Structure formats: C-alpha cells, structure tokens
Amino acid sequence: MRVVIANDHGGYELKRHLLSYFEARGIEVVNLGTNSNESVDYPVYGELLAREVLKGEYDFGIAICGTGIGISMAVNKFQGIRAALIYDLNTAMLAKEHNNANIIVLGGRTLTNKKAEELIEAFMNSKFEERHQHRLDLLGKLGEK
C-alpha cells in the first residue's frame, strides 16, 4: 500500500503522528509537507496533493488542515479528485463504499490522534460498491462542463 499526505500548519501535529502510524504498519507514505507549525496556506498544499494523487501511483491521499474544510475545498477543485471530509466511522466507511474517495480529509484540530487512526482503518478496510459507479461517472462529467 502507498499513501501520500499533505497538510497545512493546522494539520502538522496530526500528520506527524500519522507518519509514525503508517511506518509502524509497514505502509509506504510520501510526505508533501508542510513540516512545521509555521503558518502556511492550505490551497498550496491542497494543490500539491491533488496533482500527486492524479498521477495514479497511490492507493489514496490524505489531506489535513485545522478543520479539514479549507483543504477539502482546495483538492476538490481538481477534476478527477474525489475528496471526502470524514469525521466518524460511518463517513469513513461510506467515503469508500459509496464515493470511492481518492483523498480522505481530516481535521487536525477536530480529531484526536486515536480517532484519526480509527477513521483511516475504517476507510482502508472498506470496499467500493460498484452499484455507485454511475454516480461517480456523472461526477466526473460535471468537471468537464
């Protein structure tokens, strides 16, 4: 499994924790920054992540800002990105089962480290349900208009 992660300063502490979490599980993780608490702009890191995920070389991406809202808006600007802000076990599972999200988004200031781990595990253990493919196709077409 290969994962790519990007965050602003509001997501830095959670990202640090998740790097250790993935390392402990032998999951390869590519870190696009930012790598300090110094204030940066989430659209910049959202763009870096979206462009990297669109290369198609990762199982999924993770975006983190303070709430997850701003960086969600940023990554979803890119055609082909389906980013889901997840905040409980239900949204974590449905983001995969119904939406086949290629980026999951976390709030660094709204989730504990443990809760974030639980959500990532729920997402990784879920499977996309093909009956929703038609809606994903319609979503993709919206981006062409």
How many angstroms separate the Cα of 57 from the Cα of each of 1, 3, 29, 60, 91? 10, 9, 12, 9, 24
The Cα 42–Cα 44 span in angstroms is 5
87, two tokens: 């905040």
Site for ligand RB5 in 4-23 (CB under 6 A): 8, 10
Q: Which is nearer to ligand RB5, 110 or 126 (CB)?
A: 110
Taking CB under 6 A as the rule, does residue 45 contact ligand RB5?
no
Which residue of 34, 67, 76, 100 would you call a contact of ligand RB5, by CB under 6 A?
Answer: 67
- Answer yes or no: 17 catalytic: no
Number of residues forming the site for ligand RB5 (CB under 6 A): 8
- Answer yes or no: 65 catalytic: yes
Which of these is catalytic: 9, 17, 65, 134? 65
The Cα 61–Cα 6 span in angstroms is 8
21, two tokens: 């979490």
In the complex, which residues of this chain contact ligand RB5 (CB under 6 A)?
8, 10, 42, 65-67, 69-70
